[in-house]
């Protein structure tokens, strides 16, 4: 096997391990919100680290695979949604939202500020997907929860778990980045 082929295989295996690790960590819920969303044990961090170590291309591919693991275990098919709403839910809340984590390496991997900024950006894009979903697909939840505005409801609902999840992911990243060199 050529050296370049070995390197690609190594990266591919690493990506598969990181998807698996992210998936297992997503099952460890530190805090689960009453109506959905949860704070997990650093479930976004392994996928973000792929993007920091190997670039956005590998990061997006890994995050896309991870997004499907989240979509498939969500139980959304059994929620009684119409086909159109189910497709939109899968796209916004799972495929686009979790694939956004692959953007973590967009600023490169030189320096903590750039790396953490990339993670924050990836988490903001994930939040934006959930926010848009909350305003468009789940707007009736605002009325059920006593909110007149689906915009405020989606902001609070999604922010309540995404903000701590982002902070914990950044803290975990700083610890890992200080301990290990992120370059492949």
CA distance 184 to 52: 10
> Is 141 within a domain?
yes
Over residues 93-105, the mean pLDDT reads 98
- Going by pLDDT thresholds of 50, 70 and 90, the confidence category of residue 140 is confident
160 in a domain, yes or no? yes
pLDDT tens digits for 118-131?
999 999 999 999 99
The better pLDDT of the pair 181, 150 is held by 150
Q: Is residue 63 part of a domain?
A: yes
Residue 21 located in a structural domain: yes
Residue 184 located in a structural domain = no
Give start and end residues of each alpha helix (H) in 42-149: 45-54, 56-73, 83-89, 97-99, 112-136, 140-144
Global pTM?
A: 0.93
pLDDT value of position 1: 57
Bigger pLDDT: 20 vs 181:
20
CATH of the domain at 122: 1.10.1760.20
Give the structural domain span for 108.
3-179
Q: How many domains does the chain have?
A: 1
Does position 144 have pLDDT exceeding 90, yes or no? no
Residue at 38 is within a domain: yes
Domain assignment of residue 22, yes or no: yes
Tens-digit pLDDT profile for residues 31-74: 998 877 899 999 999 999 999 999 999 999 999 999 999 999 99
């Amino acid at each position: 096997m050529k050296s370049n082929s070995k390197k690609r295989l190594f990266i591919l295996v690493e990506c598969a391990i990181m998807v698996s690790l992210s998936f297992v960590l997503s099952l460890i819920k530190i805090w689960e919100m009453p109506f959905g969303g949860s704070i997990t044990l650093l479930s976004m961090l392994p996928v973000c680290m792929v993007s920091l170590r190997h670039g956005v291309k590998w990061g997006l591919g890994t995050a896309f695979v991870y997004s499907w693991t989240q979509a498939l275990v969500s139980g959304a098919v059994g929620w009684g949604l119409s086909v159109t709403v189910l497709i939109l839910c899968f796209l916004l809340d799972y495929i686009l939202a979790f694939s956004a984590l692959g953007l973590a390496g967009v600023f490169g991997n030189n320096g903590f500020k750039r790396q953490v900024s990339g993670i924050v950006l990836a988490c903001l894009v994930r939040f934006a997907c959930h926010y848009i979903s909350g305003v468009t697909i789940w707007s009736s939840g605002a009325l059920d929860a006593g909110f007149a505005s689906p915009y405020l409801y989606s902001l609070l609902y999604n922010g309540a778990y995404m903000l701590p999840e982002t902070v914990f992911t950044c803290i975990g990243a700083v610890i890992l980045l200080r301990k290990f060199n992120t370059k492949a």
